[in-house]
Amino acid sequence: AQSVSQHNHHVILSEAASLELGCNYSYGGTVNLFWYVQYPGQHLQLLLKYFSGDPLVKGIKGFEAEFIKSKFSFNLRKPSVQWSDTAEYFCAVMNNAGNMLTFGGGTRLMVKP
Amino acid sequence: DAGVIQSPRHEVTEMGQEVTLRCKPISGHNSLFWYRQTMMRGLELLIYFNNNVPIDDSGMPEDRFSAKMPNASFSTLKIQPSEPRDSAVYFCASSTGTSREQYFGPGTRLTVT
């Protein structure tokens, strides 16, 4: 069975601070990894995804994530956060068959202006 | 494209009543997923369909929950009878077999009193 752990449940940062959200997964097969963002009151939107190739993935809005296979990690980063980045962030892993997406518990990010 | 459409956006009902949530996936997508989001349990996959056929319903909490997909453009999630612990946001998502990226609808916020 696949699982995802996001150890930071709540993160508070000031604008312009750097961000790194942790994500560790457990899955024995080839992994497809995702980061979704959920702005207050809205639905989930895809930030970025990793299927194969370059382990450093760049997404929208200046976000990036690095797949480190040896650590079973897929941490999300942004060099300088903005107030508008206040949201909940979800890491997810999909099985190789492409039909089961398992989400982590989410990290609530608050950026203070 | 209008994206994934869900209705109603908000539903308030009394315990014991039947609740039906509706979803229209993105045209051309052949996989449809129902998720439930709560503060306590995060995002949980309830059931998913591929080509209108239920593939995995192991996430459906109990027999009070049922889901159907009579055609490629419509799915329902029914709760009968509803209970206060069913209060949550229910998301529908769809994807194609090749992209593996799931597109989420705006969700239905269900409150059972």
Question: B25: which DSSP letter?
Answer: P
pLDDT tens for B45-76 read 999 999 999 998 888 988 999 999 999 999 99
Question: B26: which DSSP letter?
Answer: P
**Residue the block writes with tokens 């990036």:** A64
Cα A58 to Cα A35, A50, A64, B77: the distances in Å are 11, 9, 4, 36
B84 has a chain A CB within 8 A of its CB: no
Q: What is the pLDDT of residue A94?
A: 87
What are phi and psi for residue A71, nearest 5 degrees? -105, 0
Q: What is the pLDDT of residue A76?
A: 97
CB contacts of A104 in chain B (<8 Å) are: 42
pLDDT category of residue B1 using cuts at 50, 70 and 90:
low
Q: What is the pLDDT of residue A16?
A: 96
Residue A104 and residue B42: Cβ atoms within 8 Å? yes
Residue type (1 letter), B112: V
* Shortest Cα distance, chain B CAs vs residue A8, angstroms: 14
Which residue from B45, B105, B106 is facing A101, i.e. has the nearest CB? Answer: B45
pLDDT category of residue A13 using cuts at 50, 70 and 90:
very high
pLDDT tens for A34-69 read 999 999 988 899 999 998 899 999 999 999 999 999
Q: What is the pLDDT of residue A37?
A: 96
pLDDT category of residue A100 using cuts at 50, 70 and 90:
confident
Cα dihedral B4, B8, B11, B15 sign: negative
pLDDT tens for B65-108 read 999 999 999 999 999 999 999 999 999 999 986 667 899 999 99
Q: What is the pLDDT of residue B98?
A: 67
Which residue from B42, B56, B104 is facing A105, i.e. has the nearest CB? Answer: B42
* Shortest Cα distance, chain A CAs vs residue B23, angstroms: 14
Question: A80: which DSSP letter?
Answer: S
Cα–Cα distance for residue pair A85/A76, rounded to 1 Å: 13
Buried-state track A16-27, b at ≥16 Cβ within 10 A, e below 16? eeebebebbbeb
